[in-house]
Structure 1
Amino acid sequence: MNAINTSVSLNASFVRPEYFFITGLTGISYSHYYYIFLFCTYIIAVIGNSAVLLLIAAERSLHSPKYIGVFNLALADFGEANALIPNMMKTFLFDSNYISYNACLANMFFVFFFATMQCSTLVVLAYDRFIAICLPLRYHAIVSNTVMSLVFSAIWAFNAFMVALTVSLINRLSFCKTNVVLSFFCDHGPVFKLSCNDRTINNVMSLLNIGLYLVAPMILIGLSYLGIFLALGKVTTWEGRLKALKTCITHLLLVASLFLPIFCIYIVASTTTLTANIRILSTSLAYAVPPMINPIIYVLNTAEIRDLIRKVFKNRSGST
C-alpha cells in the first residue's frame, strides 16, 4: 500500500505517483451503517436541490434577486453532493481505495470549487437581507436581477480561478515517501503534506483559502447582521421587528448548518488530538450534510416555495 507506482520526469529527483490511496473509514465497527446514512443523504440532497432548481427555473414569480442566490446555492449543493459522496460510496461498495493522480486533482478541484460557492453564496444572501431590511426604499435600485447575475458570474469565475490555482500547485510537488491520503477524498491538506520537497507556497494557498472562504465570509455575514440588528432596534413595534427578522431565519439556519460544524472541527482539532478516523468521520459529515439540509430548510421556511409545491401537487391531483 505504501509502495508508490511512479511516473518519473527527466529530473530523477522528481517523483509523481500514478495513484493515491484514500484511506476513508478503516477499522470502525459498523461503518456500513454510516455509508447507508451517506447514501440516504446523497439521495435527499440530489432530489431536494434538483426540485429547488427546477421550481425556481420554471416559476416566473421566483425570478427575483433573492432567488437567483437561492438557485446558485442549490446548484453548489447539487455539485458538492455529486463531487463527494459517489466516490465515498464507490470506495465502500467496491473496496476501491485507489484513485489516479489526475482523477485525484479533478476530485479535489470540484469538491473545493462547489464548497467555495456555498460559502460565497451565503455572503451574497446576507448582503441581500442587509439591503432589504436596512435600505428597503432603495432595495430595487441597488439589487436587481442583472446586478445579482453579474455578481454571481464574477464569483463563479474568481472561485474557479482560485481553486484551479490551488490545485495546480500540487503539480510542483514530489511524492517520494507514501501515497496514502488520510482522508475520505483527495483533500488538499493531506495530499500536499505527503510531499518531500518545499511546500511553503501550498501551505500559503491553504491558509489564504481558509481566510477567503471561512474567516472572511463569517466576518462579512456577522457585519451584515450587526447592521440588521441595529436597524431593527429603530423599528418601533415588536411586530415589525419580528416580521423583518423572520425573513432572516432561513439564511441564519443555512449559515449555521455550513459554518458551525467546520469551525467546531477546527477548534476541537486545535485543542485536542483526534484520531484519524474521528477526524475523517466528523469532516465528512460537515461536508455531506449541508447539501441535504439546505433544500429542506428552504422548503420549510420559505412561503413562496411551499405555496408553489402545494400548487404543483394540487394541479397533479386535479388532473388524475
Structure 2
Amino acid sequence: MPQQDNLSDSNSAGSAPSVFFLSGIPGLEAMHLWISIPFCSVFTVALLGNCTILYVLKTEPSLHKPMYYFLAMLAVVDLVLSTTIIPKTLSIFWFNSREISFNACLVQMFFLHSFFNVESGVLVAMAFDRYVAICNPLKYTTILTNSVIAIIGLVVLARPVFIRIPMFIMLKRLSFCRSHVIAHCYCEHMAVVKLACGNTRFNDIYGLFLTLFIVGQDLMFITMSYVKILKTVLSLASKEEQLKAFGTCISHLCAILIVYTPMVLSAVFHRFGHLVAPHIHVLMAIFYFIFPPMMNPIVYGVKTKEIRSKVRLRFRRKNF
C-alpha cells in the first residue's frame, strides 16, 4: 500500500513512470505463441531479403548507380523498422517479457514514427530518380551525382527526425496518473498519450498534423513526378519503347502501394474504431510497420532484372 501511494503521488506531481507494460494483442493473449509463428516468419524474410539486397548492391560495381543507392536506403530503413518492433513483440509472445522502460519506450516510438516517414521520403527520392531517368535521360548522370544523392539522403533523414522532436519533448513532459499498461505490442504514440492525465491536445493535433503533412507532401511530389513521367512515356513513338520506359517504374509503383496501403487501412480502422475489435486495431498497426520491410526486397528482387540476375549469379558461385 505505501508503494502504491508513493506511485500515485509521483504521478500526480507530473513525473513520468519508470516503466510501462505492453499487453501484447488484447483479447488474444492465449494465442500469442501461435501468432508468433507468422511474426517470426515475416521478420526472418525481412532480414534475409533486405540483407541480401544490401549485400548484392555493395558487392556488384555494375549496380553502383543512383537508382540502386536509393534502393539501398530503402533496405536500411526497412531493417530499422523491422528490428525496432519485432524482437520486443516476439519477447512478449515467447517469454511474457512485457516490461519496457519509459525512455526505451520513447526511443522505440521515435524510431518507428521517424523511420516510417524516412521511408516515405525515400519513395519520393526514387520517384525523382525515375522522373530524371525517363524525362531527362541525357542529363541523368550529371543531375544525380554522388554528392546530390548524399544531400537527398541527409534531407530525407533529417526532415522527420527534426520535426518529430517537439512531439517527443511534449510527451516527455506529460504526467501519467492512469494505468501503465499499454494495450499494444509496442509503444504506439496514441496508445501512450491515452495513458496521460492532463491536457494532451498538443500531442493529438501535432501528431495528426505531422502524419498528414509529411505523407500528403510526399504523395503530392510522387504524383507530380508520375504525371510528368506518364506524359513523356505516352509521347514515345513505339509501344515497345513505352513499355520499356514504364517497366522501369513497376517496382517503385509496387513499393508505393506496399507502403501506403497499410497506412490507409490503418487510418480507416482508426476512423471507425468503435466498430472494430481492439485486437484488429493492434494487428493492423503492426501490419502497418512489418509488411513493407518483408515485401520491398521481394518486389525489387523479382521485378528488377539486374538484381535478380546478380542474386542468381551469387548463389550459383556459392553452389560451385
Give the TM-score normalised by structure 2. Answer: 0.92
- Alpha-carbon deviation of 1:4? 9.5
Query: 1:7·1:16 contact (CA, 8 Å) conserved in 2?
Result: no
Task: Give distance in 1, aligned partners of 2:133 and 2:116.
Answer: 26
Query: 1:4·1:18 contact (CA, 8 Å) conserved in 2?
Result: no
Task: Give distance in 1, aligned partners of 2:270 and 2:167.
Answer: 23
- Alpha-carbon deviation of 1:173? 0.6
Task: Give distance in 2, aligned partners of 1:53 and 1:169.
Answer: 37
Q: 2:287 — aligned with what?
A: 285
Task: Give distance in 1, aligned partners of 2:290 and 2:6.
Answer: 31
1:173-192 equivalent positions in 2, closer than 5 A: 173-192=174-193
Q: 2:152 — aligned with what?
A: 151
* C-alpha distance after superposition, 1:44-76 (max 9, x if no partner): 111111111111122211111111100100000
- Alpha-carbon deviation of 1:7? 9.2
Q: 1:296 — aligned with what?
A: 298
Task: Give distance in 1, aligned partners of 2:286 and 2:318.
Answer: 38
Give the TM-score normalised by structure 1. Answer: 0.92
- Alpha-carbon deviation of 1:298? 1.0
* C-alpha distance after superposition, 1:95-127 (max 9, x if no partner): 122211111111111222221221111111011
Q: Percent identity?
A: 31
Task: Give distance in 1, aligned partners of 2:160 and 2:32.
Answer: 34
Amino acid paired to 1:68: Y
The alignment partner of 1:310 has SS state of: helix
1:1-320 equivalent positions in 2, closer than 5 A: 6=7, 13-28=13-28, 30-271=31-272, 273-318=275-320
Task: Give distance in 1, aligned partners of 2:221 and 2:87.
Answer: 33
Instruction: Say which structure is richer in helix.
Output: 2
In structure 2, the gaps of 5 or more residues are: none
Of the structure 1 ranges 270-279 and 11-20, higher mean CA displacement relative to structure 2 is found in 11-20
- The 3 A distance-change label for structure 1 pair 142 and 264 is same
Amino acid paired to 1:203: D
- The 3 A distance-change label for structure 1 pair 48 and 5 is farther
* C-alpha distance after superposition, 1:133-163 (max 9, x if no partner): 1222222222222211111022222332233
In structure 1, the gaps of 5 or more residues are: none
- Alpha-carbon deviation of 1:244? 0.7
Query: What CA RMSD, in Å, does the superposition of the two structures yield over aligned residues?
Result: 2.1
* C-alpha distance after superposition, 1:221-247 (max 9, x if no partner): 122111111222211211111111100
Q: Alignment length, in residue pairs? A: 315
Query: 1:19·1:98 contact (CA, 8 Å) conserved in 2?
Result: yes
Task: Give distance in 1, aligned partners of 2:259 and 2:33.
Answer: 25
* C-alpha distance after superposition, 1:156-209 (max 9, x if no partner): 223322333322321111111222222221011111232112223212320232
Query: 1:21·1:179 contact (CA, 8 Å) conserved in 2?
Result: yes
Amino acid paired to 2:86: I
Query: 1:174·1:196 contact (CA, 8 Å) conserved in 2?
Result: yes
Query: 2:16·2:173 contact (CA, 8 Å) conserved in 1?
Result: no
Amino acid paired to 1:13: A
Amino acid paired to 1:292: M
- Alpha-carbon deviation of 1:5? 7.8
Task: Give distance in 2, aligned partners of 1:205 and 1:164.
Answer: 11
The alignment partner of 1:183 has SS state of: coil
Task: Give distance in 1, aligned partners of 2:80 and 2:8.
Answer: 31
Task: Give distance in 2, aligned partners of 1:122 and 1:176.
Answer: 40
Query: 1:84·1:185 contact (CA, 8 Å) conserved in 2?
Result: yes
Task: Give distance in 2, aligned partners of 1:12 and 1:277.
Answer: 30
- The 3 A distance-change label for structure 1 pair 5 and 261 is farther
Task: Give distance in 1, aligned partners of 2:53 and 2:213.
Answer: 27
